[in-house]
Amino acid sequence: MTNLITREKTFILEAGTKDGALTELVNKTAAVADLSNPEKIISALMHREKLMSTGIGLGIGVPHIRSDLTTEPVISMGVCRNALPDYDSIDGIPVKIIVLIITGIGQHKEHIRILSSIITKLKNESIRNDLINTSSTDSIFKALETAT
Amino acid sequence: MTFLPGSFLSSLHHLQHFPKVDILLLLGLALFGGSIGGRLFSKIKIPQVVGYIVIGLIVGQSGLNIIDQETIQILQPFSYFALGLIGFMIGGELKKSTLARYGRQFVWILLFEGMTAFVVVTALVSGIGLFFMEPRSALATGLILGAIASATAPAATTDVLWEYKTRGPLTSIILGIVAMDDGLALLLFAMASSIAASLLGSSDGSTAKLFLYPLYDIGGAILLGVTCGLMLKQVIRKSSDNGKILAHSIGAVLIALGLARISHVDFLLAAMTVGVVITNGNPRKSVEVFQTVEKFTPPIYIVFFVLFGAKLTVASLTLPAAAIALAYLIGRTMGKMLGSRYGARISSAPATVQKYLPYCLFSQAGVAIGLSIVAGQRFSDSTGSMIVVVITATTFVVQLLGPPCVRMAVSKAGEVGLNITEEDLIRSTTVAETMDRNVPVLFENSPISAILTAFSASPNLCFPVTDKDKCLIGIITVAHIKDVLMTTELNEFLLTHDLMEPPVVTTSETKSVAEAQELMNRYHVEYLPVLSTAGKFIGIMEKHSIQTLISRKLVELQNQVKG
């Protein structure tokens, strides 16, 4: 998965709520990636979450949008120090791993491909457990390396 | 100055002799003013050709005299060119199938409308003439005017048919009659002027020549037209470039016109024959030829009719001339109406032809004026000048009243708007008439299953995504859903929101299909969402469905023509 998520885009998230965690992840990502308007990204993500939660079960949340604020895919991962019970996942399990996917407005195919690739990989129990039990960005990246 | 060569000095000297009004400026003004006049008249439901002629009258010899006799003379070849194009286009309508279908009717109607006009005008004018001149002169004038009365001018009549895109039996018969009755007029004129010469004692013993001339005139024109037509047919056989087809076609018409004028044969008939040869010699290619030439003709026709109006002089009519002109007008109108009605009836023409053709043959122009001038030269006494005055004055009246009558007749016959090409339909059809108002609407939170249901249950290839207030927020196309079908594991996590794209461009229902197509091409999209004036989504237009709808409309129109 390191071909999708680079080391500097892996984070430990301190927030204890869904909105807080998403805001924190976007701001941290914007600080290292080419994202000019994090507020707008957060607003678009919140709108998407209102339509239906991106909590896909098994403790994983995949907030994703296509936006005109980027022309290249921006993918980052945050592991929550505390699981988020308010994420409203389809299986009701609190979310611990959040993968943020932002692609360009015209990157329809890439968006679906990245989403599919990440969900497939995170369904692997050992990778998932490695990520859930991690406590630093280094160990997140190590876990991702094993998933390639 | 000593350094300037002599030729340069002489050219500077030459520049001092500019014409009073530049010809190009005049043509520009005629075109511009004429088209404005046409548009104004069209707004009050009068054929545009009347507007062109009225503008001509205003700027011509009877009005402001901006276009004077000298200018008209200089531009005379231009009028021949316009008439040649009109002839060529009429020839294009005379297809074998039309002639086979209406041939018998053409002959009967032509004979009756021409002969009845001849007989009635001769009788009436001779009768009225008895009050002002001696009996021989009255009969001679009656005979000549009777012969001239049989001619019907094609230009103003066909212009109305083309303006209103008419199609059907009445249109076919009108085109056939106006194409052929000049021949009858020439024969009658030859006969009448020979008798008139005997009556007036001015026979120059050239009666045989006078009778042979129409045969030479008609035969020579047909021969010339066939030759130029075959030449054009050969040249355009493999050409697919519209520009080249246009150049070859115009070239062939001009050659036919030029040779006809040099050989003193009927140039209109020559150009018409070129059209007949092309439409029957290569029917498939001819569609392209006539469509291409048709697009080129409007400015030529406008200038032609403006010049025609400018040429008309409202002569100071004496009482005898006014009385004879009135008798001529009444006699010609009655003769044409009765004759065409009777001819249509005995040839079992369709009911609409029997009923409305009598209103379509009033127009009189070039041939009538030409013959009156010939008569004026041949009978240089008062009879000759009387004929010229009467024809000029009555041409003025019938050219203004004829086109509205044609318009009324073709619209009552239900033939208006039936001669429509795919291109015309695309231009005249609005988005409102072609858009799909029942396209399934998706919402941002509609799941993938809803999109799949929409695709499977409707023929549309794209679907609008709106909010609850019907404001358009996106579009889902078949391309979007195709990507998801390959990744079924995502189906339960994805929504319409994730797949839709924002609308690239939208349109309104008042726009034409042509404008909508232009937008689709410019933005490289296959669809156009249609929004109301309040910005709400009301329907969608898809490229693939436009063709189906336009084809269906064309078939409906063709059925109406057949019906």
| Span B15-36, pLDDT tens digits | 334 446 688 888 888 888 888 8
Half-sphere exposure of B373 (CA within 13 A, CB side): 6
Beta pairing, strands A64-67 & B527-531? unpaired
Decide if B489 and A119 are in contact by the 8 Å CB cutoff.
Answer: yes
Beta pairing, strands B462-466 & B472-477? antiparallel
Residues paired with A55 in a beta bridge: A61
- Picking from B99, B80, B90, B81, the residue whose alpha carbon sits closest to that of residue B274 is B90
pTM of structure: 0.54
Closest-CA residue of B relative to A66 is B498
Whether residue A7 is predicted with pLDDT greater than 80 in this model: the reply is yes
Nearest 10 degrees: CA dihedral of B384, B388, B393, B398?
A: 110
**Cα–Cα–Cα angle for B120, B122, B127, rounded to 5 degrees:** 95
In this structure, are residues B550 and B422 in contact, taking their beta carbons and an 8 Å threshold? yes
- What pLDDT, on the 0 to 100 scale, is given for residue B123? 92
Residue with tokens 């490695």: A130
- What pLDDT, on the 0 to 100 scale, is given for residue B218? 77
pLDDT in tens, A86-123: 998 988 899 999 999 999 988 888 898 898 888 888 88
- What pLDDT, on the 0 to 100 scale, is given for residue B471? 92
In this structure, are residues B266 and B82 in contact, taking their beta carbons and an 8 Å threshold? no
Task: For residue B560, name the pLDDT band (cuts at 50, 70, 90).
Answer: low
For the beta carbon of residue B508, count every other beta carbon within 10 angstroms. 17
Whether residue B516 is predicted with pLDDT greater than 80 in this model: the reply is yes
Decide if A116 and B445 are in contact by the 8 Å CB cutoff.
Answer: no
Residues in A closer than 8 angstroms to B499, CB to CB, are: 108
Give the distance from residue B306's alpha carbon to the nearest chain A alpha carbon, in angstroms: 56
Task: For residue A22, name the pLDDT band (cuts at 50, 70, 90).
Answer: very high
Structure tokens at B241: 């470039």
Query: Can you tell me the mean pLDDT for B185-199?
Result: 73
Whether residue B14 is predicted with pLDDT greater than 50 in this model: the reply is no
Residues in B closer than 8 angstroms to A111, CB to CB, are: 498
Q: Does A48 touch chain B (CB under 8 A)?
A: yes
Instruction: Please state, for a pLDDT cut of 70, what percent of chain B lies above it.
Output: 87
Residues in B closer than 8 angstroms to A52, CB to CB, are: 445, 495
Q: Does A64 touch chain B (CB under 8 A)?
A: yes
Collapse the DSSP code of B53 into the 3-class scheme (helix H, G, I; strand E, B; otherwise coil) and give the result.
helix
Q: How far is CA B118 from each of CA B16, B400, B540, rounded to the nearest angstrom?
A: 53, 22, 61
- What pLDDT, on the 0 to 100 scale, is given for residue A48? 93
**End-to-end CA, chain A:** 5
Decide if A116 and B489 are in contact by the 8 Å CB cutoff.
Answer: yes
Whether residue A20 is predicted with pLDDT greater than 90 in this model: the reply is yes
In A80-99, the residues whose Cβ lies within 8 Å of chain B are 90
pLDDT in tens, B109-159: 888 988 899 999 999 988 888 888 888 888 888 888 998 888 887 777 888
Half-sphere exposure of A23 (CA within 13 A, CB side): 9
Closest-CA residue of A relative to B500 is A108
Give the distance from residue A109's alpha carbon to the nearest chain B alpha carbon, in angstroms: 6
DSSP, res A85: G
User: Positive or negative CA dihedral for B294, B296, B297, B302?
Assistant: positive
Query: Can you tell me the mean pLDDT for B373-395?
Result: 73
In this structure, are residues B15 and B37 in contact, taking their beta carbons and an 8 Å threshold? no
Q: Mean pLDDT score of chain B, rounded to an integer?
A: 81
CA distance B41 to B399: 14
Q: Does A31 touch chain B (CB under 8 A)?
A: no
Residues in B closer than 8 angstroms to A109, CB to CB, are: 483
Query: Can you tell me the mean pLDDT for B520-538?
Result: 90
- What pLDDT, on the 0 to 100 scale, is given for residue B317? 64
User: Who contacts B381 (Cβ-Cβ below 8 Å, separation ≥6)?
Assistant: B200, B202
Decide if B480 and A56 are in contact by the 8 Å CB cutoff.
Answer: no
- What pLDDT, on the 0 to 100 scale, is given for residue B258? 94
Decide if B493 and A119 are in contact by the 8 Å CB cutoff.
Answer: yes
Whether residue B205 is predicted with pLDDT greater than 80 in this model: the reply is no
- Picking from B184, B289, B296, the residue whose alpha carbon sits closest to that of residue B236 is B289
CA distance B171 to B561: 11
Whether residue B12 is predicted with pLDDT greater than 50 in this model: the reply is no
Instruction: Please state, for a pLDDT cut of 90, what percent of chain B lies above it.
Output: 14
Q: Which of B66-80, B151-165, B195-209, B260-274 has the lowest mean pLDDT?
A: B195-209
Q: Which of B89-93, B114-118, B207-211 has the lowest mean pLDDT?
A: B207-211
In this structure, are residues B311 and B304 in contact, taking their beta carbons and an 8 Å threshold? no
Query: Can you tell me the mean pLDDT for B173-180?
Result: 80
- What pLDDT, on the 0 to 100 scale, is given for residue B204? 54
Task: For residue B2, name the pLDDT band (cuts at 50, 70, 90).
Answer: very low
Q: How far is CA B224 from each of CA B40, B228, B559, rounded to the nearest angstrom?
A: 40, 6, 38
Decide if B497 and A48 are in contact by the 8 Å CB cutoff.
Answer: yes
In this structure, are residues B143 and B122 in contact, taking their beta carbons and an 8 Å threshold? yes
Residues paired with A95 in a beta bridge: A84
Q: Which helix (H) or strand (E) holds A139?
A: helix A137-146
- What pLDDT, on the 0 to 100 scale, is given for residue A25? 94
Decide if B490 and A119 are in contact by the 8 Å CB cutoff.
Answer: yes
Beta pairing, strands A64-67 & A95-104? parallel
Whether residue B9 is predicted with pLDDT greater than 60 in this model: the reply is no
pLDDT in tens, B439-475: 889 999 888 888 888 888 888 888 999 988 899 999 9
